[in-house]
Amino acid sequence: MAYAALLSLTQTLEQILHSHDQSRILDEEKQITSLYEKLSFLLSFLEGSTHKYSETIASLEGRIRDATYEAEDIIESNMSKPASHGVISTWFWKKISPSAFLQSKRSMDNLEQKYEGLQKVIEELDSISKDVEKMNDIEDLQPSMPDGSSKSRSSNNSTIVESISVVEMEGIEEVVKMGRNDLEDLQQRNSLSATSSKFASTNKSAMVGFDDDSLQIKERLIGQSTMLKIISIVGMGGIGKTTLARNVYNDSHIVHYFDIRAWTTVSQEYNVQGLLASLLNSMTDLGHKLYEMEIEELKQKLYRKLQCNRYLIVMDDVWETNAWEEVRRLFPDKNNGSRIILTTRLSNVAVYADSSGPIHCMNFLSLEQSLKLLNKEVFGEECCPSELEGIGITIAKQCKGLPLALVVIGGLLNKSEKTRAYWEFVAENVKSAVTRNYDDFVEILSLSYNHLPHHLRACFLYMGVFPEDYVIHVSYLIRLWVAEGFLKPIIPKSLEEVAKEYLEELIDRNLIMVQDRSYSGELKTCSIHDLIRDLIVRKAQEEKFLHVMNQKNEISPEIIKNQRHLSIHGEIQFDVGDMYDSTVRSLLHLAGSMLSIDICFPLLRVLDARNITFYTFPIEIVQLVNLRYIALIYTGKRKIPASISKLCNLQTLIVFRRLRFGKVRILYLPSEILKMPQLRHLLFEQGFLPCPSAAGNGNLQTLTGVIDFRCTEEALRRIPNLKTLGISYRYDSRTKWSIYCLENLVNLHQLETLKCHFVHEFEIEPLVPLAVDLAFPPNLKKLTLSGCRISWKNMSTFGSLPNLEVLKLKDFDFEDSVWKTNEGEFRKLKFLHIGCNNLEFWEVEGTHLPSLRCLSLRRCPDLNCIPSEIGEIPTLQVIALFQCGLSVVTSAYSIQEEQQELGNDGLQVHNHKDVYKIGNSFRKVRVPLGIKLSITSI
């Protein structure tokens, strides 16, 4: 976490140095400048470091992390100060209990010692910097090998290929059953790539759950094309990529079809000489003589060996595009059906090797497949005893379809007594049984973390704050990453855009799983595998980064004080007195229950307290000047105090109200709220925001849940960079719509998402008509309107928006019963939802909605049918129907049948009553406890 710590503190110091605070004294400015320079040097070192992960590097990063944390604690402990005392000055925080206040006072008395401690930290950072310089000097003195690697890297044959411990699933069945001495012998026997290749060729393992994968790969190997083809197998560590490749490689038909086969394991540490020698050793009997040859001689020998033969090459466990680049020109394409199989955890490596061919992505095993693999590992060809079948299912479920976990737990059960009591014990402790009984399991999955670039490590470990099986909303995650300071600004991108790129990188590395993407391709929700999460939590605690609490007996003030982030998954209360000098930066309460706790962490940046009951607005938080993110629910007075504007660092404010008699009570927001300079996201349920009259906020990107907002030109000028706006309007027969100036929305030039809801006070009047002169900004991508009525002129307005991808018309009426789309409209529209309207006839041509992927109709009682021309749209994937009439349903299935007859099997029709969209399909789902869907509703 050294990089994240350095990045966070350098950004804080930049803010201080650029603040033009006249109250700083000269010595103080020199100290801060000196600290900033040393931190910047170390940050540059980590960003440009080419050193491989080792104990030495880990120790150095640990020193950097600890020194930076200490400096950050001193700086941020004193960010709240009287103006006359400078930046490094007296910290005063009003505690909410007398005993805690006295302890806080004792902390203030020690402030001078902390001030002096800053100089000691600078000296430590200076010492670290000298060690870094020495390390770089030694690296520069290393003589280079012909392939560009250092001499020390290639002097030991053990670096040519990796031992069995880093080849996922390769011989794993034998390893589980061996003792430690046997494993060491096996590692020595596989220290050369030739041995590793031959091991891959001869070892037999059960192919459980990979039948379809194997068939697909073999079909591509012996396909019609005679051109050289590259087949990439991609997936997370332990999912069975090597097992699949090995079984295909050893298949009798494949052996017979290819003249030459060769296997090499690349892994993280490799050199060109080793790769070439291992490939040649698979095809010749030259043995160790190959490792005495020069690289150019090896290249020529390999090329000549392959050029006259139909060959199959397997490059297993590839981590870098450079590894492929080094050898790709040595594989001749003689138009004879030669093939290359490449296995990797990194999608970008697969795309780099062959951007034109499809990638074979490995999926998790089904429960049936998991149980079959588990039983085979435990009982071989015998049957599982009936008394253990139910427990076996429970154990298989806990492995979440990861083959490596099933093999490891199967090996453990194989060596133990087959008793119900023991199996029940294992069923309750599957994750710990896997990770504690097989070190190589931890090593295999840890490789993915060790290979992460520095800028992704904190973001990845932060995923541990979420409970098991938690569906993580991407917008929620991104706001947290931004608030935590994990992201380095990249001009001209926003921090949110940088965060999305980081997340996509982690997905490409198969460390984070996509749960749901919108039809426009936008990532909406994600998750992590339970066993990956378990390793994250362990690693994060070792790094003094994150502590997860889900049991009361886990509470230890000393442990909590040494952690930067705290996530609570159970009913836990704190003793305020124990936490007065805590260095915790994040407190996330994600438990399903509601309880009251005191806010007692003075250095908080993130407070997610949506599952804590606040009966009055917690005014104490306005003293926590380092806060960047607040999410909470409270049931008291309807007004947020104006003093919240004191939180000058606040970026995200999420405030929701508990239901009262079935209705959400209106929350009145102070006009000062838009004066907060760093504010980026404001989310409410029903919040009334006065029309801003003072200086605006150029950073504000999200404003949702506001009611009766007046879109005057002056108001919109004060929030010029707004990207997401969610507003609602209450109306009755006396409402004068002109006062809301909705036509001015066209002036929000950065607006991408607009959700506008109209609510009649008595819910019996006709829907409100939208203004004829309604206009929207050209950058708008998503538009949701509900509770209103439109004319066809308005529909043309929607259709003319050049970037519109999502249009949702809910609780809607048209002024006429016939809708006729026009050529040239809705050019980029991918998702169309029409609900509750008087539409009877719809005239459309297949060229009118050229990008449409999903058509959703809800409660359209008068609609005659869906036009058959809808089926002619080449991009259409789904027609989703909710409580529609029989004629509409019939026409939808007719369209599907017609397309199937034409060879288009991609169009699906879903007809359900209560359905939610998950991924690219619609099905019934339950929302897990603790997930606040309304927070990311737009």
| CB < 8 Å & 24+ apart, contacts of 355-361 | 357/229, 357/230, 357/231, 357/232, 359/232, 359/234, 360/213, 360/216, 360/217, 360/231, 360/232, 360/233, 360/234, 361/234, 361/235
Closest CA to 317 of 341, 295, 338, 351: 341
- Convert 670-707 into a string of H (helix), E (strand) and C (coil): CHHHHHCCCCCEEEEEEEECCCCCCCCCCCCCEEEEEE
CA distances 326 to 265, 276, 295, Å, are 14, 10, 11
**What averages of pLDDT result for each successive group of 10 residues across the chain (938 residues)?**
92 83 62 90 86 78 92 81 36 35 48 70 90 75 45 33 31 34 32 33 57 93 89 93 94 94 89 88 76 87 91 94 91 94 94 90 93 91 90 92 89 87 89 71 83 93 92 95 94 93 94 89 91 89 87 61 82 56 84 56 87 79 90 82 90 82 75 89 89 76 92 88 93 79 91 91 68 80 89 82 94 83 91 88 88 92 91 93 91 93 89 50 32 28
Q: What are phi and psi of 11, to 5 degrees?
A: -65, -40
Task: Report DSSP letters for 830-881, one per residue.
Answer: -EEEEES----EEE--TTTSTT--EEEEE--TT-----GGGGG-TT--EEEE
Q: What pLDDT score was predicted for residue 9?
A: 93
The domain spans of the chain are 2-141, 156-361, 367-442, 454-529, 544-620, 816-938
Fold of 367-442: Helicase, Ruva Protein; domain 3 (1.10.8)
Cα(529)–Cα(275) distance, rounded to whole angstroms? 32
Cα(938)–Cα(935) distance, rounded to whole angstroms? 8
Q: What pLDDT score was predicted for residue 94?
A: 34
| CA 506 remoteness from chain centre | 6
Q: Which two tokens stand for residue 679?
A: 């504010």
Residue ranges with strand state E in 136-177:
none
CA distances 30 to 79, 119, 147, 242, Å, are 17, 11, 46, 56
Amino acid at 125: L
Q: What pLDDT score was predicted for residue 437?
A: 58
- What is the number of other CB atoms lying within 10 angstroms of the CB of residue 415? 11
Burial of 203 per CB tally in 10 Å (0-12, 13-18, 19+): middle
Are the C-beta atoms of residues 249 and 217 closer than 8 Å to each other?
no
Closest CA to 820 of 800, 793, 801, 802: 793
Q: What are phi and psi of 191, to 5 degrees?
A: -75, -15
Which value, in Å, is the radius of gyration of the alpha carbons in the chain?
31
- What is the number of other CB atoms lying within 10 angstroms of the CB of residue 12? 21
What's the CATH class of domain 156-361?
A: alpha beta
pTM: 0.82
Cα(768)–Cα(791) distance, rounded to whole angstroms? 12
Are the C-beta atoms of residues 46 and 6 closer than 8 Å to each other?
yes
Closest CA to 391 of 377, 405, 375, 407: 375
Q: Do 454-529 and 156-361 fall under one CATH topology?
A: no
What's the CATH class of domain 454-529?
A: mainly alpha
Cα(901)–Cα(620) distance, rounded to whole angstroms? 67
CA distances 154 to 269, 271, 300, 680, 853, Å, are 10, 7, 21, 51, 53
Are the C-beta atoms of residues 868 and 890 closer than 8 Å to each other?
no
Are the C-beta atoms of residues 587 and 610 closer than 8 Å to each other?
no
Burial of 800 per CB tally in 10 Å (0-12, 13-18, 19+): middle
Cα(485)–Cα(493) distance, rounded to whole angstroms? 15
Closest CA to 235 of 448, 396, 451, 435: 448
3-state secondary structure of 314: strand
355: Cα within 13 Å, side-chain hemisphere: 3
Closest CA to 522 of 252, 753, 324: 753
Sheet holding 260-267, edge to edge: 260-267, 311-318, 339-344, 229-234, 360-361
Q: Is the dihedral of CA 50, 51, 53, 57 positive or negative?
A: negative
Give the pLDDT confidence of 778-823 residue by residue, as tens digits.
999 999 999 888 877 778 888 999 999 999 999 888 878 888 888 8
Q: What pLDDT score was predicted for residue 774?
A: 73
Q: What pLDDT score was predicted for residue 915?
A: 41
Helices 495-508 and 474-484, axial angle in degrees (round to 10) = 110
Q: What are phi and psi of 908, to 5 degrees?
A: -120, 145
| CA 150 remoteness from chain centre | 36
3-state secondary structure of 232: strand
Cα(657)–Cα(661) distance, rounded to whole angstroms? 12
Cα(300)–Cα(255) distance, rounded to whole angstroms? 25
- Convert 34-63 into a string of H (helix), E (strand) and C (coil): HHHHHHHHHHHHHHHCCCCCCHHHHHHHHH
Contact partners, residue 292, CB within 8 Å, separation at least 6: none
Sheet holding 523-527, edge to edge: 472-473, 523-527, 513-517
Give the pLDDT confidence of 393-429 residue by residue, as tens digits.
999 999 999 998 898 888 889 888 888 999 999 898 8
Cα(6)–Cα(25) distance, rounded to whole angstroms? 24
Cα(264)–Cα(271) distance, rounded to whole angstroms? 12
3-state secondary structure of 177: coil
Give the pLDDT confidence of 646-702 residue by residue, as tens digits.
898 999 999 987 665 556 678 888 888 888 889 999 999 888 888 766 667 789 999
